[in-house]
Chains A and B, each alone.
Chain A
Amino acid sequence: MTDAALPVSPAPGKQTFARLLNRLKELSKLYMLVLPSSIIILVLGYYPKIDVVVKSMYRWVPGEVEEFIGFKNFIDAFSDPLFWNSFQLIFILLIANLFKMWPGIFAAVALHRLMNEKARYIFQVCFVIPMVIPGMVWLLIWKSFYDPDFGVFNRILNASGLMNFLHWLDGSRDVPGVMPRLASALEPLIDGPITLLFASTWGLILSGSFLLTLSGHGADKSTRHKASGIILATSLIPLLVSNAPSNGVVFILAIAVFASLMFALAKTLGPRWVIWMFLFFGSLYGFANNFPLLFLNVAAGILISEILRQTRERFNAEAKIKFIATALFLFGTFLVLFAQTWTDPTGQFELGTPAWLGNRDLVIPALLFWGFPWVGTMGVLIYLAGLQQIPTDVYEAAEIDGIGPIGMLFRIELPLILTQVRINLIFMTIATLTSYEMFLILLGPSGGPGNRGMVPGLYMFSKAFIDGQFGYACALGMVLFVIILGLTVIYNKYVKVDK
């Protein structure tokens, strides 16, 4: 913001009535200029969003019922399994989208490094062209790709022999393939020691991430103990709430206690507390039927890290904890991927015509593959604009230091376009969390076979416009909004931009 433009600074000296009037006239002209935008944004931008907050406390069908019911909608939301299941899908998609960001970054870097000016311009134009096609057309063409009989996707799989490979992995109802057999081989491990120690595979992931949270540098003994205590206390909250009779007072009390504990934790741990908050919500899902185990799990985690710290020198302990934490996390992820996702043969690949959007086991893979090769026009162009601002001498200096092309990517280009990456990350996250149009168009309001494609946004949409529970949809919207706000805060804190 420049301060250069100040043509209407009030003149010093005596302010006569005429001058005041003149000033008012000038001001009113300026207000007239910003008035249209302000009104539009207030009425169409702010009002509906604020109305969501209000209506979330109502039982509301527009024009028919409007009855204040306090926090009942929220209480219902927290015990609505379909709503929480929809978050499982959205977090899978979010993680997938984090990986899908890379092809765009690579494309922008490759485009930026092209030596031939003319080729660069031509490629740049080529990247703009897909924008010409309406989004709906893309969506519907891709949908037709997934058609079992006509679809191009199945034809490519059949022609390239990949279909046979998938069949080999999957097997048939009578003869399970490789993946189901692997899952059943790992099953005793999960049912036995892992359920005993960690409640579920989610417990493994939780413990791993939990240890990572606690293992920061510089956390001295007293803050560590304090943080551990607070975390232990938070893990008791769901246990108390789930055992208490479900009424509004307990619920609000629990939220108040949770908020104050989070505040205390934020004071002791600094920005890292945010991780715990998200872990907490994740664990609510993972331990949904077994909240006492959540408490035990957290206690065990704290115990492990304390024991490690006691027996070893501080520096070693830090490294050790990190190693154990990463191992737990990776093992948990491995088990979820290979023992809990592909447990039964789908039997779809045998005939070579899997119905990607019509089978409950294939919907999520189809959504993950969606949009291959995942290079969005706007993303590439925004990264490119960032890359073009990198001064030439940075490259020259790097060259003198003997940094190769791949080194340059990670040491120069990525750090210097981090602003753009962060903005894309924030917008991608918000867009993923709020998205529902694609799912509505592809799978219908119920989220496809077995509600597998149900995302939170779609759930709100169908609650409101199909089931007519408008107030409840607003409450769901509030929950989603708080989560989005939290994620934006994390990004702003962690993906730092060095100016």
Chain B
Amino acid sequence: MPKQLNKATESIKIGYLLFVLGFAFLPLFIMIVVSFKTNQQYQANPFFFDPVSEWNWGNWSFAWHTVSGYIWNSIFVSVLSTLSTISMVLLSAYALARYRFPGRNIVFYGIIASMFLPGTAATLVTLFDLLKQLNLINSLWALVLMGTNSGQIAGIFLIKQFIEDIPGSLFEAAQMDGAGHLHQIRHIVLPMSIPVISICMIMDFLGTWNNVILPLIVLRDEELLTIPVGLMRLEGEYVKEYGQMMAGFAISSVPLVIMFLFTMKTFVKGLAAGAVKG
């Protein structure tokens, strides 16, 4: 940390950060403000709250009816795919970090290399065909599977590094006591790599939650739509009621807000501890 620093430079830095954050938060603020307004009120006064008596709560109840179904679909997909991702990642990361076996390098570099084979929109075409052949079109399970795939690569890369830093003697002692692989993962790897595991889980969850294109082309039925596609439909309606739209946006952010409330501390600390070294 640089030592020489006076009040002036400190306030320049804080000023810059506040400026940046101010603009970053502006959309959020507008979202909340507008969600209580009718279109007329939005037109008249877009930036600040009206008096509480004129707040339009109807927006929120309308939005809840529209969005709540989508939320459950999204939760189903994101939770399942995060859980299956992390369990698969733990198994392979453990095996790859702890053991040398024939084919280990092929597996490891095969996984890493797929990180550098970017999927273009064209991949979507063949993927769509594949899912069709697997009979997964118009099914939430397609999204769960794809979420599981996209989380693997970074997860294995990060967690493998982490397991390699755990002292080998711990594992050896457990082996002496006759602990199998799963037992070792459960009682040594899991408790010791909580920070990096939680970061991976959060990233997976966010990735699946925010995925738009795949649900857009895979899902057909209205009642299966996930949040992003549902919001897109809401936005695409011909006559736009901005208040209802913004209330819908706000409601669909709530699950992530709740998740972050519980994991924020681990998350910031994990990142600060250099879990994402690059």
Chain A contacts to B: CB under 8 angstroms: 1-2, 4-8, 27, 29-31, 33-34, 36-38, 40-41, 43-49, 51-52, 55-56, 62-63, 103, 106-107, 110-116, 119, 121, 123-138, 140-145, 149-150, 152, 155, 372-373, 375, 381-382, 384-386, 388-389, 392, 395-396, 399, 405, 408, 419-420, 423, 430, 433-434, 436-437, 440-441, 456-458, 460-461, 464-465, 470, 473-474, 476-478, 480-481, 484, 488
A389 to chain B, nearest CB (A): 7
- Which B residues are in CB contact (< 8 Å) with A40? 88, 145, 148-149, 152
Instruction: Describe B's contact surface by its main secondary structure.
Output: helix
What are the residues of chain A within 8 A of B39 when measuring CB–CB?
Answer: 150
Q: B10 contacts which chain A residues (CB < 8 A)?
A: 114-116
A134 to B255, CA, bound (A): 10
B101 to chain A, nearest CB (A): 5
Contact of B122 among A62, A112, A386, A473 (CB under 8 A): A473
Instruction: Kindly count the residue-residue contacts between A and B in the assembled complex, taking CB atoms under 8 Å apart.
Output: 301
- Chain A residue numbers with a CB within 8 Å of B99 are 5-8, 30
- Once the chains bind, are B256 and A133 in contact (CB under 8 Å)? yes
**Given A113-B2, A134-B209, A48 and B249 contact (CB-CB distance below 8 Å):** no
Structural contact, B227 and A134, CB atoms closer than 8 A: yes
In the assembled complex, the Cα of A97 lies from the Cα of B249 at a distance in Å of 27
Residue of B nearest to A137 (CB): B249
Residues of A within 8 A of B107 (CB): 34, 38
Q: How many angstroms between the C-alpha atoms of A384 and B273 in the bound complex?
A: 10
The answer, yes or no, to whether B171 is at the interface (CB within 8 Å) is: yes
Q: State which residues 147-181 of B face A: CB under 8 Å.
A: 148-149, 152-153, 156, 164, 168, 171-172, 175, 180-181
**Any A CB within 8 A of the CB of B201:** no
Contact call B130/A48, Cβ cutoff below 8 A? yes
Instruction: Please give me the residue from chain B that is nearest to A471 by CB atom.
Output: B125
Q: Are B118 and A484 in contact (CB under 8 A)?
A: yes
A136 touches B257 (CB 8 A): no
Q: Assuming the A-B contacts A136-B212, A460-B120, are A33 and B245 also in contact, with contact meaning beta carbons closer than 8 angstroms in the complex?
A: no
A-B contact pairs, 14 of them (CB 8 A): A7-B172, A31-B103, A34-B96, A40-B152, A49-B119, A51-B126, A128-B267, A129-B260, A130-B24, A136-B227, A136-B231, A144-B242, A372-B23, A474-B125
A51 touches B274 (CB 8 A): no
Nearest 4 pairs between A and B by C-beta? A477-B122, A136-B228, A51-B126, A33-B95
Identity of the chain A residue whose Cβ is nearest the Cβ of B155 in the assembled complex: A37
Residue of A34, A44, A111, A481 with most chain B CB atoms under a 10 A cut-off = A34
